[in-house]
Structure 1
């Protein structure tokens, strides 16, 4: 396994484990809207290394483990780091945009960064097949579109504790940064680029109409 990937996974494991056993540490580093708006911007990054429980941590790290090698193989280690942390920040910024009036809003998890890597891999390998629930084969681009549309639904419904906004922001980050790094994809995989743009347009159209 690539040493950079090992370092990121290890940082997530160690910081999450510390958070599992130290409530004060957890509260100090989680994404808390009031604290972020008051100047603690570092929480955008630190919260992405905390997880709610072992299941949350394992799911995110397994997803990263499976898809990071695709991005590294096509774009290299430096671009992987840029997309990972860029997607993390995109997720945080979109969360601020949509929840800036909710001062008590809290969120944790590497989902934004991991989703950015997932979408980067989909753009690079749109012919890739994913295992839905690790069993049912589904084309990567179909999964990408459905996942983003589900995230819009989750943002609108607000009936769970999942950070759908960070997921969506991370996906947008991975999408944009991958195309900036590898603009040839606009021509090589034009149909996939267009299809993955649709949920993004829907999101901002709904926001403009006050539907979120």
Structure 2
């Protein structure tokens, strides 16, 4: 339910912004506006807008594909309403946390802007990977082929790190990288505080069982 609500809200705001530049200007992540005008809300509001339909569809499809599983699993792990609350906190906090390195690097860069929910979506994707590391994840550029989630996660983090260090382009690879890492850390800490389930031990057990096959 929370996943669907976030998708609907994000789509509505993004659709409105596609034809209204002032909405983008008010919501986009613009580091100088944060550092000089204290517009901290931009850490979160930028996740409601996207560059174009392709950007929006890709993010929301990925979020839907992994979000429902994570939301349901959180309910099982932590009980209700704790699971739902933690899931919502993970998504919202990931919007800001994934952008912290970007902010400190560009807080006086008047040419820099960033938008989209990719960092928060990455946090949800990696929470799913830790919870179900042997699930198959399809590769868009190779139809019909899927790889275990834990292998996909390693590749994803490595590629995001390399692209971030290389620089250039209009994609904030740093947000992808730190969003994914934050999703892992959040899940481990939440598991220790609110559940009897050992997240790390469960992940290792599933991967070892898979590799023995």
Which residue of structure 2 aligns with residue 88 of structure 1?
A: 95
Residue pair 1:86, 1:174 contacting (<8 A) in 2 also: no
Is 1:152–2:150 an aligned residue pair?
no
Which residue of 134, 137, 149 corresponds with 1:130?
137
Which residue of structure 2 aligns with residue 18 of structure 1?
A: 16
* Aligned residue runs from structure 1 range 15-164, under 5 A: 15-38=13-36, 39-76=38-75, 77-133=84-140, 135-164=144-173
Residue pair 1:34, 1:104 contacting (<8 A) in 2 also: no
Shift in Å at residue 28 of structure 1? 1.4
Q: Aligned with 1:31: secondary structure?
A: coil
Residue pair 1:95, 1:165 contacting (<8 A) in 2 also: yes
Residue pair 1:95, 1:169 contacting (<8 A) in 2 also: no
Shift in Å at residue 165 of structure 1? 1.2
Shift in Å at residue 101 of structure 1? 4.6
Shift in Å at residue 97 of structure 1? 3.0
Residue pair 1:86, 1:173 contacting (<8 A) in 2 also: no
Q: Aligned with 1:64: secondary structure?
A: helix
Q: Aligned with 2:138: secondary structure?
A: strand
Unpaired stretches in structure 2, ≥5 consecutive residues: 76-83, 193-197, 208-213
Unpaired stretches in structure 1, ≥5 consecutive residues: 194-212
* Aligned residue runs from structure 1 range 199-210, under 5 A: none
In our comparison, the structure showing a higher alpha carbon Rg is: 2
Shift in Å at residue 86 of structure 1? 1.9
The alignment's C-alpha RMSD in Å is 1.7
Which one is further off, 171-180 or 52-61?
171-180
